[in-house]
Structure 1
Amino acid sequence: MENMNSKRILIGNGCLVTRDKDNPYIENGAVLIEDGYIKEVGQDSVLKNKYKDIEYIDAAGKVIMPGYINAHNHIYSAFARGLNIFGNHPTDFLEILEGTWWKIDRHLDLNQTYCSAIGTYMECIRNGVTTVVDHHASYKEIKGSLFKIADAAAIIGIRTCLAYEISDRDGQDKMKEAVSETCDFIEFTEKNPNPMLKAMIGMHASFTLSDETIAYCKEHNYYGKGYHIHVAEGEYDNLDCLEKYGCSVVERLNKKGLLGPKTIAGHCIHISEKDMDILKETNTTVIHNPESNMANAVGCPDVLKMIDKEILVGLGTDGYTNDMLESVKVANILQKHNSRNPDRGFLEAAQMLFQNNASIVSEMFGEQIGILKAGAVADIIVVDYNPFTPMNEANVDGHIIFGMSGALTDTTIVNGRVLMKNRKLVINNTEELLENCRDASAELWRDLYER
């Protein structure tokens, strides 16, 4: 794919946080971008002298680092912001699904899906999020929905991996239509290789997937894609599995051949140590979504034990926010609170966001992502953060987690393209896009209220 921004750009004169263990921190560093990739990393003075007649972004008093990665998101939930569904007073997670999320996805048309993606991706760029792994559902209009989200991603310029949430909850015809959309989209991404766009097979959760549906999904996995599925997010998922199949959700998914190194298991809250061992043995990736888990009152996963067992645990938002620094802050304190151990949580939260998320999407996209080194993709942010305490290689994560927020992102670059500079989006028709989002969300709300 031809890069839309093939010119050279040098970003320098800032503190450089590379996430490269061989060269992790440069006090006054610079990064050279060329054709969507990082060409060189080094001292600002050296690179400025070496590359004189190219665009220079001065990051004085700021921090230059890799863009953030959201490993589990739901674009379809975007228009819930500010929405109050009358008479909806859930008392448990299943009532939340039935009264809010499934109600929304049953009313989303293609334009509303597209606008949900536009709004989400724009806000991601504003918050320094450069890669999003999304798990979508819009059961009113399934066909073409993943393509609409991909169109939105291309317009905004973000890197994304998409999956459709296959489920039995709206009947077999809708389930098969969701599988068809999944197959069409995967085939499109395979026949039109694009370093900015990937696909997975999305599945809702064990309790809305019959054995027959799981078999149907596997039969249609023509390209050997990984599965993106919610696992034991609420207690009901496991109780349903025990009653119907006599085993835990993790055991059932393993027996069905859904687990493995390409699969993402979202949440994994109500799982046993035996389940964890299965996840480890199968090299299945787990994604922690702390704010969503707290908001839904579903409990807290034992992320610390999973990480101790060397399970690859990444960090997502589950659609709750588009600010990954908000998510990592909560991950830190939630694990401390849950374990009642003030000495745990911080290192693990940082590992999930900065190290594990990078590993997950690098494998997914076949590129080096989440690192500033020669050969890596040029997904870079500049953060307006000039600390009043010393910052260095040893304590930089403490500054990021306790001192920064997504709103401090000054510049966002994805695939070598400047998408935001000086806090202003460099995207055509920004106001028109936002107005379209407001109109589409208002239309959805009217439809929900009328019913």
Structure 2
Amino acid sequence: MTLLIRGGRGFHGDPPEAFEGALLIDGGTVCGATPVDTYEKVRILDADGCLVLPGFVIGHHHLYATLARGMPRPSAAPQSLIERLERVSWRLDQALDGDLIELSALAGTAEALRCGVTGIVDHHASPRAIDGSLDRVAAGLQAAGGRGVLCYEATDRHGEIGFEAGLNENERFVSQYPGTTQRAMVGGHAPFTLSDDHLWKLAALGARHDVAVHLHVAEDDHDQLDARQRGAKNVTERLERAGILDGRAVIAHGVHLSPAEIGRLVEDRAWLTHQPRSNMNSEVGYLDAAPPAGRLVLGTDGINGDIIAEAQAAFFSLRDHDAEGAAETVWSWLAGGWRLLSDAFGLPPERGFGWLHEGCPGDVVVLDYDGASPVQADNLARHLAFGISARHVRHVIVAGEIVVRDGQPTKVDANDLRRLATAGAERLWARMAES
């Protein structure tokens, strides 16, 4: 089926550029100037008065956390990131089973789509249900209609057997993809939960399959302290020794990396993901040493699927730390998700995500944005910072398929999903209480 989006005002790229005319998508790809009557069947999507943009990307997410919102607080409030992991996150991931994994991915993807997100780079953990877990994440993501890049966060938390199970799940999954809308990376938790030998094994697996290694790094200062105890100058040197930086890498957080370390990461084709809401929630500090333009990517770290809200939090926290901070800077961070996703899918930047030229992926968000002031290419970033929100998402298209129409998902029933998710959350919380 060919899709024609007509009537809207189009913007794409970084910095944003305006484009004119209707948008034609066939076979999941944006078409050029081919006349519409060339196609046998054309479905028309009205975008009159709306903004038409490339679909957004979450550069670092934990879909497995979708059902955790509202869960009972731990008996004692965490006083550090390690305590938060021990009392909340690690109890959550250990309570997951296959059905809860798939339901979390389905509900989390459906939510993200309704926020204008078409691509999710996910970092999964379920230490008591490792084997086949990425298939369950993929099934939930696909059922909702999203595009994703998945990995399993291998760790030494559960000994050698636990690490090998996580490594094997990464290898099994990365060996069976690419798919049309899904790709794989190699995942690990954080360096302080991985031995040097195990970091090397992750790097070797990534190199063998030519995919990035996706890790949490220096979310707080524990990775740096641990690296020095293991004989390295800092955590970046430790990653370098293990070969992680010989190929592509996705480094989540990096709050406690020095400017020199971040510069070293960027030299080695690494991406750094920034999750300001999660950083504030975990009280780990602010990412002050940002890399050069183009290598920083916004993520949500499992907070939710609203990357527009994340971009606004990024803007206001930037302004709080830098009076010269500009909305255009944060637009570039948001656009970093397009560059990262293009890299994961093996697409050249000029024909990858974030553009709606001929030959680019047909991933689109239509925003029914009623801003009171003019919207132009040179002020779109400021409208994103001060006006646009998830409530303006009207239609979402992934690979040419309408997955959200008039604000509602098309591939799942929103009411049925809400009932399933509520029941699943209650079961998850009960399992956590038993642990």
Shorter chain as normaliser: what TM range? Answer: over 0.9
Q: 1:244: which partner in 2?
A: 230
Question: CA 1:311–1:419 in 2, change beyond 3 Å: closer, same or farther?
Answer: closer
Question: Distance in 2 between the 1:53 and 1:363 partners?
Answer: 32
Question: Distance in 1 between the 2:247 and 2:340 partners?
Answer: 10
Segments of structure 2 that go 5 or more residues without pairing to the other structure are none
Question: CA 1:218–1:386 in 2, change beyond 3 Å: closer, same or farther?
Answer: closer
Question: Distance in 1 between the 2:330 and 2:383 partners?
Answer: 13
Q: 1:319: which partner in 2?
A: 302
State the superposition RMSD in angstroms. 2.1
Q: Which segment is superposed worse, 273-282 or 229-238?
A: 273-282
Question: Distance in 1 between the 2:134 and 2:311 partners?
Answer: 28
One-letter code of the match for 2:30? I
Q: 1:4: which partner in 2?
A: none
Question: Distance in 2 between the 1:187 and 1:53 partners?
Answer: 36
Classify the secondary structure of the residue corresponding to 1:427: coil
- Measured after TM superposition, the shift of residue 104 of structure 1 is 0.5
Question: CA 1:93–1:119 in 2, change beyond 3 Å: closer, same or farther?
Answer: same
Question: Distance in 1 between the 2:331 and 2:247 partners?
Answer: 22
Question: CA 1:218–1:343 in 2, change beyond 3 Å: closer, same or farther?
Answer: closer
Q: 2:244: which partner in 1?
A: 258
Q: Tell me, yes or no, if the aligned pair for 2:7 and 2:22 is still in contact at 8 Å.
A: yes
Aligned partner (choices 324, 339, 358) of residue 374 of structure 1: 358
Calculate the TM-score normalised by the size of structure 1: 0.90
Question: Distance in 2 between the 1:227 and 1:53 partners?
Answer: 42
Q: 2:323: which partner in 1?
A: 342
Classify the secondary structure of the residue corresponding to 1:378: coil
Classify the secondary structure of the residue corresponding to 2:102: helix
Identity value in percent: 29
Segments of structure 1 that go 5 or more residues without pairing to the other structure are 1-6
Question: Distance in 2 between the 1:213 and 1:318 partners?
Answer: 24
Q: Tell me, yes or no, if the aligned pair for 1:18 and 1:66 is still in contact at 8 Å.
A: yes
Q: Tell me, yes or no, if the aligned pair for 1:333 and 1:345 is still in contact at 8 Å.
A: no
Q: Tell me, yes or no, if the aligned pair for 2:134 and 2:151 is still in contact at 8 Å.
A: yes
Question: Distance in 1 between the 2:11 and 2:298 partners?
Answer: 20
Extract structure 1 runs of 4+ deviating beyond 6 A: 47-53
Q: Tell me, yes or no, if the aligned pair for 1:381 and 1:412 is still in contact at 8 Å.
A: yes
Q: Tell me, yes or no, if the aligned pair for 1:269 and 1:302 is still in contact at 8 Å.
A: yes
Question: CA 1:181–1:293 in 2, change beyond 3 Å: closer, same or farther?
Answer: same
One-letter code of the match for 1:110? G
One-letter code of the match for 1:342? A
Calculate the TM-score normalised by the size of structure 2: 0.94
Aligned partner (choices 146, 158, 167) of residue 158 of structure 1: 146
Asked whether 1:446 is paired with 2:409, we answer no
Question: Distance in 2 between the 1:301 and 1:428 partners?
Answer: 37
- Measured after TM superposition, the shift of residue 405 of structure 1 is 0.8
Asked whether 1:302 is paired with 2:264, we answer no
Aligned partner (choices 65, 76, 79) of residue 64 of structure 2: 76
Question: Distance in 2 between the 1:408 and 1:194 partners?
Answer: 31
Asked whether 1:35 is paired with 2:27, we answer yes
Q: Tell me, yes or no, if the aligned pair for 2:312 and 2:384 is still in contact at 8 Å.
A: no
**What is the 5 A alignment of 1:360-371?**
360-367=340-347, 368-371=352-355
Q: Tell me, yes or no, if the aligned pair for 1:412 and 1:421 is still in contact at 8 Å.
A: yes
Q: Tell me, yes or no, if the aligned pair for 1:74 and 1:134 is still in contact at 8 Å.
A: yes
Q: Which segment is superposed worse, 221-230 or 157-166?
A: 221-230
